[in-house]
Structure 1
Amino acid sequence: MRDDTSDTREIAGRGGGRRNRGHKRRGLTTRLTVLVTTLAVGAAGTVIATQYASAGNKHRDTVREQPRGKAWHGTIRCPDVGDQLEDVPEGVRARVDRELSRLDAQLAVAYRQLAHQRGNPRRVMTKLERKRSSTIGRIVRTLGSVTESPDHLRGLAGCEFQRGRPGGNPEPPPVEGGEGEGEEIGGVGEGIGGVGEGDDNGEPIENGPVPEDFVDITTVAPNVNEPIPGENASTGTLLLECGRNEEGRHNSDNVIVAPGVSNGAHHMHDYVGNVSTDAFSTNESLEAADTTCTNGDRSTHYWPVIRIQDGTDEQDFDQPGGGLDGNIGTILTPETVTIRFRGNPLGEVTAMPRFLRIITGDARSFTNGTANANSSWSCTGFEDRQLTDRYPICPEGSSVVRTFEFQSCWDGENADSANHRSHVDFVREDGSCADGFVAIPQLVHRITYDIPPGAVYAVDSFPEQLHKPITDHSDFINVMTDEQMNTLVECVNSGQRCGPQ
């Protein structure tokens, strides 16, 4: 990491030149206790104080301070099976998706057990590998029944556990004769009660975020370079008014990545647009549902919720996707939600196919790398400086901003792909699409939040991602009618400003 004045990834061209690779998936953990130490910030003098926020803790007055040196987190790193699946035949895709989600659930069980007992993790890892091997074997056999058998996937069953302390580098697990040797962690998936109360010594287990995840936005140097539109650019924009999820529609499903699987995301999503979206939605059910968008567009837009980690029991504190998966605290309703479509810097755009699915950002960037970390954070009044790996601390009167710029090049054929990414791509640095791709309207989500002064906030995440800001992501399914899509394309290509500007 660089220092705070430059601790951002380069934001070149606001969506240009960022290559898009396989979708990252993982499951995860449990109701954990959050440890955050003091952050003194900026000219406004905001302070985020030391606090613990324990999901489901009915005795918060008894939570005691823990010396920072004793707090640690563990990260399980498993090879991404889904990322290796470039071409899954449609007839078996649902079965393969269910098995991929089962890998997520197995990882979740392992995290829960490691959180409940703070001993040698090797037995947990051995059982996890055995379960993964069985599941991967079913994927191989399923695919082998309709195409060439991907036997190389069998080598992806093993995982690595790394132990670490907040803000520091991971540490390797204990070795023979080391700390915790001989302690067994038995019954994976059995008797996991009491998670969230602390480890066997009664100490809280760190779940993120940590102080190093935050930065005073006023100390960050401007880093946004907007591309200059070419002579033939499509410069129009269309705005949609779809509300702010005032109704509180949340679930922990992900119909794109894990269709037919409850809690496939292991974190809660906000939804606007289509009111029926869940793991069991189909193109037909989405087409028939109501919408929050004032123009009647039934498309669905969803992203992880943001929570204030204030020790309050949210209504999902004892549910999957909430406290049982390590996501705790009060869910915030966005202050504003702006849904905008814009054109291409070089030329005209073509229509998106109906039911096109796009994911931008990567829910597992913390453990699997930043290749797909396309989402960014900022503050109102400071949006010439964008962060990917830090949460901004905004001065008084400024709101936190999340920005999601979606891929705007399409392969011209597929509404989805096996890894949910390879059918779309970002434009290159010059604004052009790669060979075989055509330009489509670019969707941009801009969401703002009124964060209380001094509050610790974080995005919901898979637990092994420790609520890192770099894991932010957003999802879109296009359910526009042909008439609505034609209106969008005409607006963008003709340089108009359409919708509620």
Structure 2
Amino acid sequence: MGRNTRKRRTPLATKIVAGAAALAVGGGGLVWANFYASAHEDHGGHNRTRSAGAQVATIDCPDVGQKIRDVPDRARGEVDGELATMDSQITNAYQRLATTRRAQAGDSQFVQNSILGPLKDRRKAIIDRIQLEINRAGGKADDNLDELAGCQGRPADQQNGGGQNGGGQDDGQNGDGQNGGGQDGGGQDGDGQNQDDNGNGVAGPVADDFIDINDVQPNSRNSRNGLAANGDGGSTGTFTTDCGVNENNLFNSDNLIAAPGVDNGAHHTHDYVGNQDNDAFSSDEDLANADTSCQNQGDKSTYYWPVLRLQDGTQEFDANDQGGGAEGNIGKILKPAQAELKFVGSQQGDVVAMPKFLRIITGDAKSFTNGDANANTSWSCSGFEDRQVTDKYPLCPEGSQVLRTTNFQSCWDGQNIDSANHRDHMAFVQEDGSCPEGFQAIPQLQVRLAYDIPTPTVENGQVQNPYAVDSFPEQLHKPITDHNDFINVMDEDLMNEVVDCINRGEDCQ
């Protein structure tokens, strides 16, 4: 099969299922989880203890894109393309990390000399090109970007992975590779690459990424991001748009906002509702002329988020594709049972209309390595909405749905529909509900996704049949990497209706 990005308008039902046979039920999840099991776990009679110094779980690189500010408009396409190439370099380096475990165990400098050193050189070349492109377009590139070229191997630790074993597996290992948690070597090729995991080693999640919702303290979530904009004062109305739950099976691993013009720019698969012509190559004109899944045909906005998957061994349409199984995103894609898209007002006064084609990214797909400065994740269970968690997947009781809730930035700089790092033109409300100086309040998009998911089983530090958000491979499917994207393509009459409804304090749809 080709890349799923080029199948954006083809319903999933018409696709040929990749692979003649699925993995054993639960096998996919166990392959990933076992690799990151406790470094002192006794598994199948083999003691898997490894020295802490050898436990390199993933690759941690400074996010160059977040540091770029002044990029002239005519250089943005080239810069975004270079940043996407940099993401591909990290993905390739992570895959090499995951498939050379024996070499790492035998040489303490292998990761630095064979993976991180060459990666730094390649990143330095791209940074040089980015600086050149900015300067050629009349901007002034930051001379300090070179300091961001170097990456480090991030060791496994209790907080982020429960003592993952990254230092050379002994269960079923061959050559310079490892086969993913003690499976037999039948799927392993001459390069030591396991075909069941497409050479990615493992990508999580692990048992430590889950928490019983009953163990989450009510009203304990502490995040400066994602504050709800509306309250008892100001503009108290709401506008709800019904765009379905991706019944048209529109999936791709592009990201039109962050990586326009780049095939597989996200390195993970997105669900799309609303606009039906959304891929990396869609122009504003394409979006404006597209069909929409929204009931109100005046709303051609695109709403998209990384899919959730149940790692149960299902071979999805993208099992062998980049962005899917080839980059560690495995298992059954789970559509929401419900997707509520609601716009709300401001605590401090009226809101103004969003400009057409305004782009907003909320959350950070790289929060595991970047840190939580831009994280905007809220996981919970239906019936337990006062218990919210950002860095764990909830284990919900029977009959309760898994909830993903995102409150977008709702303060706009009044001028730009996008910015060089895709963030600076937007801001979150401050604690008192007001916008920062120089910003004005627009309708705040709130997305609430509800899923029917069988509760994973966690026993003896292992998780079976876990669910997880699609992610960049090196982000290990951590829940804190959840994120959400929006492009406003409402027609002018509908946007004015949204604003009027919210400012009048009415509930409309």
* TM-score, length of structure 1 as denominator length: 0.80
State how far apart, in whole Å, the 1-side matches of 2:388 and 2:80 are: 34
Question: Which structure: greater helix fraction?
Answer: 2
**Cα drift, residue 228 of structure 1:** 10
Tell me which amino acid in the other structure corresponds to 1:168.
G
Other-structure match for 1:159: 151
Tell me which amino acid in the other structure corresponds to 1:135.
I
Structure 1 gap ranges (5+) = 1-47, 56-63, 175-182, 186-190
The one-character-per-residue Cα deviations of 1:414-443 (angstroms, maximum 9, x if unpaired) are 111011011111111111001000010000
**Alignment partner of 1:373 out of 375, 378, 402:** 375
**Structure with the larger RCO, 1 or 2 (CA within 8 Å, 6+ apart):** 1
Within the alignment, does 1:223 sit opposite 2:224 as a pair? no
- Structure-2 change in CA distance of 1:229 and 1:374 (3 Å): closer
State how far apart, in whole Å, the 2-side matches of 1:369 and 1:54 are: 23
Provide the secondary structure at the position in 1 that maps to 2:30: strand
**Cα drift, residue 453 of structure 1:** 3.8
Tell me which amino acid in the other structure corresponds to 1:389.
D
**Cα drift, residue 381 of structure 1:** 0.5
State how far apart, in whole Å, the 1-side matches of 2:427 and 2:153 are: 33
State how far apart, in whole Å, the 1-side matches of 2:494 and 2:47 are: 55
Tell me which amino acid in the other structure corresponds to 1:247.
N
Other-structure match for 2:338: 336
State how far apart, in whole Å, the 1-side matches of 2:378 and 2:325 are: 26
Other-structure match for 2:475: 465
Other-structure match for 2:30: 52
Give the alignment of 1:178-189 within 5 angstroms. none
Within the alignment, does 1:128 sit opposite 2:122 as a pair? no
**Cα drift, residue 240 of structure 1:** 0.7
Other-structure match for 2:250: 249
Other-structure match for 1:80: 63
- Structure-2 change in CA distance of 1:430 and 1:155 (3 Å): same
Within the alignment, does 1:483 sit opposite 2:493 as a pair? yes
Other-structure match for 1:279: 280
State how far apart, in whole Å, the 2-side matches of 1:66 and 1:88 are: 57
- Structure-2 change in CA distance of 1:78 and 1:192 (3 Å): farther
State how far apart, in whole Å, the 2-side matches of 1:184 and 1:151 are: 39
Provide the secondary structure at the position in 2 that maps to 1:121: helix
Matched-pair contact (CA < 8 Å) for 1:163–1:173: no
Other-structure match for 2:83: 100
Structure 2 gap ranges (5+) = 1-25, 34-42, 105-109, 169-174, 178-189, 222-226, 457-464
Other-structure match for 2:3: none
Within the alignment, does 1:311 sit opposite 2:313 as a pair? yes
**Alignment partner of 1:393 out of 392, 395, 402:** 395
Which region of structure 1 is more displaced relative to structure 2, 220-229 or 252-261?
220-229
Matched-pair contact (CA < 8 Å) for 1:220–1:385: yes
State how far apart, in whole Å, the 2-side matches of 1:68 and 1:363 are: 35
- Structure-2 change in CA distance of 1:165 and 1:437 (3 Å): closer
Provide the secondary structure at the position in 1 that maps to 2:495: helix
**Cα drift, residue 173 of structure 1:** 8.4
**Cα drift, residue 212 of structure 1:** 0.8
* TM-score, length of structure 2 as denominator length: 0.79
Other-structure match for 1:141: 132
Which region of structure 1 is more displaced relative to structure 2, 445-454 or 476-485?
445-454
State how far apart, in whole Å, the 1-side matches of 2:361 and 2:274 are: 16
Tell me which amino acid in the other structure corresponds to 1:219.
D
Other-structure match for 1:23: none
State how far apart, in whole Å, the 2-side matches of 1:66 and 1:303 are: 42
**Alignment partner of 1:413 out of 415, 424, 427:** 415
**Cα drift, residue 461 of structure 1:** 0.5
- Structure-2 change in CA distance of 1:293 and 1:198 (3 Å): closer
State how far apart, in whole Å, the 1-side matches of 2:469 and 2:443 are: 27
Other-structure match for 1:206: 202
Provide the secondary structure at the position in 2 that maps to 1:52: helix
Matched-pair contact (CA < 8 Å) for 1:162–1:170: no
